Amino acid sequence: MIDLAVNTALAALGVLLFLLFLMALLSPLEALSWWAGWSGHAPNPSELSTEAQEEIKESDELPQKEIRQPDYYLVYLTAIGGVSADEISYRERVFLQKLQAALPEAVIISDVFPFSVTNNPLTGERLLGWLWRKIHERRKTITGGMLALFIFARNLFNVAVSADPRYGPINNAGVAREISKSLYRNRYPLQGGIPIVTMGWSGGGQIAVGVAPFLRLGLDAPIYVASIGGVLTDDPGIAFVEHLWHLRGSKDKFPLVGDLLFPGRWRIARKSPWNQFKRAGKMTVYTPGPMIHTGKGDYFDPKTTLPDGTLHVDKTVAIIARAVRSIPSLPELVDDAESLAAYDREKKLHPGR
Amino acid sequence: MTHDQWIGFSILFLSILSLTVGNSVVLFANRVNRAQFIRSLLAFTFLFILSIFLWTLSIQFFAYFFFGKHKPTIDVLLLVAASFTPFIFGFLILLPHLGYYLYALLRVWVMVNLVLNLMRAYQFNIVQALVVSLLGWLLLEFVSSLSFLRLDDIKRWFLKLTTGKPEYKDPDDLVFEYVKRQRELALEAAKARQRAEEISHD
């Protein structure tokens, strides 16, 4: 009887590991087939997105005095537990509402799903959409909670795709394209210039850095990154970021994954874009208190308080609002040619990657 | 050709095909369609096997030239082919992040295999096996760098003939070109509208 139980458990574990392995192996295909035009949503190099065309039309139609430009655009990118940009957790929604109240001069965008090159939610129109919908519907039950592991795994592999120098440019250009479309929908001016802050929680932190080169070059905008417990890799896209604010709770160990797994983050790699970025004083690390990565007591918790009585979410909002307001009105922009050179240099150091 | 030789070459073909699949990101980046993708995989596999054949000839040459040992070409080719069998796992290079390290591991494994196979087949010691295999590889690199042989042109001609694409650009360059082009298009469109508006005002 015990043997049977052990054998069944081992067989189940084997199947689980095989499925995870298969998911990892196939994970780059969504971005690659999109770019190659196999999935029917291929980017057309000789055509502007509809959103950009609309923006051109609207900005010409409106009298100049009626256009009141915001001071900043903030783009929120959810964590690897997300299935869609529309279905973020209650805690995240509270955080975004409070942040908007703290920064009325900013436009906050949260309608981009960072783990899809076409902003297609896991529960949207895709081959396994029905399966993701079922898992998502049941994730609050015990078995559904276990199955939700597949959502985490799928999005985690997507973070790895974004961080991989072979697939990263294609994947990140796709997500940046979706962010650009959303920015244009929200009246981002065509001439660029207004600072864009990409805010990423957990795995969203890597995407927030990965999209930086493509937003910088595609929108002619200064790019800032706010990482909220972000798992940051050694993505050379950091060379295009003006400043990075990294929030890391003293009880949050997840950001360590990025510190350990990615050689470009190690101190020994002195010439990596990451270490050059840090040496230039462009990275500020905040420890907002004893916050954990996710769940009760995390960065967005609207109920748990810090020892000084501040709500976790309020502390996070206060840090980000202060950081955003520290952006100079005429930021000294990164040099595109230098940033491209740093990006290329990193690629030449790892030609096989 | 004997049955064993057929099996040996079939495994070599599958190994190199698997390796090519693992490195197929460049094909996607260059926007090949499905038919071109298959043709490109086969074309690159053929080119790789051709380079293995040339490496075999150079190994055979150096083994005779330096150590006076001769073996039939087919035997040397089979032992080189056998060394490349770890590339049967080449498709795993597709794995994000881990794939890069796995590729490095597979290359080391192939090199160790080759040295061991040369030691066994030619009764070489490790230094002799290393000398023969590395010099063979260096000779191949040297010959392929000789511009007057126009090997690049031949390769381009072959790829054009088989896949319809004479060369494959770096994925990074293609993506940055796309983003910059989009920016140019947006600015051009804005300027065009502005000009049209100015004319209508006049």
User: With an 8 Å Cβ cutoff, is B104 touching chain A?
Assistant: yes
pLDDT band for A336, please (50, 70, 90 cuts). low
pLDDT confidence of residue A304: 92
Instruction: Pick B2 or A209 by higher pLDDT.
Output: A209
Q: How confident is the model at residue A90 (pLDDT cuts 50, 70, 90)?
A: very high
Contact B103 A352 (CB under 8 A): yes
Task: List, as one string, the DSSP characters of A103-164.
Answer: -TTEEEE----TT-TT---TTSSSTTHHHHHHHHHTTTSHHHHHHTHHHHHHHHHHHHHHHS
Residues of A in contact with B197 (CB under 8 A): 60
- Residue B119 tokens, joined: 């030691």
Q: What average pLDDT does the segment A288-300 reach?
A: 92
Domain that holds residue A318: 70-349
A72-77 vs A106-109, strand pairing mode: parallel
Q: What is the pLDDT of residues B54-79, one digit of tens each?
A: 999 999 999 999 999 889 999 999 99
Cα-trace Rg, chain B: 23
Reported as a single tens digit per residue, the pLDDT across B105-124 is: 999 999 999 999 999 999 99
Domain count, chain A: 1
Judged against a pLDDT cut of 70, whether residue A286 lies above it is answered with yes
Backbone angles phi, psi at A116, to 5 degrees: -145, 135
Can you tell me the distance from the alpha carbon of A135 to that of A132, in angstroms, rounded to the nearest whole number?
A: 5
In a domain, A42, yes or no: no
A13-58 residue pLDDT tens: 999 899 999 999 999 999 999 999 888 777 777 777 777 777 777 6
Cα dihedral B10, B15, B17, B18, rounded to 10, equals 140
Does B183 contact A220 at a Cβ distance shorter than 8 Å? yes
Mean pLDDT of B176-195: 83
User: Does B144 have pLDDT greater than 80?
Assistant: no
Q: Please report which confidence band the pLDDT of residue A353 belongs to, taking 50, 70 and 90 as the band edges.
A: very low
CA dist., res. A196 & res. A332, Å (int): 14
Say yes or no for a CB contact (<8 Å) between A173 and B189. Answer: no
At A62 the pLDDT is 57
The Cα A301–Cα A351 span in angstroms is 43
Q: Any chain A CB within 8 A of the CB of B180?
A: yes
Residue A99 pLDDT > 70: yes
Evaluate whether residue A101 is within a structural domain.
yes
| Cβ separation B97–A33 shorter than 8 A | no
ipTM of the complex: 0.85
Q: Residues of B with CB below 8 A from A347's CB?
A: 172
**Between B91, B97, B183, which is nearest A218 by CB?**
B183
Q: Are A174 and A42 in contact (CB under 8 A)?
A: no
In angstroms, the CA B129 to CA B114 distance is 8
Strand partners, A27: none
Statement: residue A139 has pLDDT above 70: yes
For residue B40, which residues of chain A lie inside 8 Å, CB to CB?
A: none
Q: Is the pLDDT of residue B147 over 90?
A: no
- Per CB-CB distance under 8 Å, the chain A contacts of B199 are none
Residue A352 in this model has a pLDDT that exceeds 50: no
Chain B residue numbers touching A35 (CB-CB < 8 A): 28-29, 31
Report how far residue A285's alpha carbon sits from residue A246's, in angstroms, rounded to the nearest whole number: 5
Q: How many residues does chain A have?
A: 353
In a domain, A178, yes or no: yes
For residue B82, the tally of other CB atoms under 10 A from its CB is 16
Q: Residue A64's pLDDT is what?
A: 54
CB contact under 8 Å between B189 and A261, yes or no, is no
Identify the CATH number of the domain in which residue A264 sits.
3.40.50
What's the token pair of residue B165? 């694409």
Give the residue from B182, B188, B193, B200 with the most A CB atoms within 10 Å of its CB, the best one to mutate.
Answer: B182
Tell me the pLDDT of chain A averaged across its residues.
Answer: 87
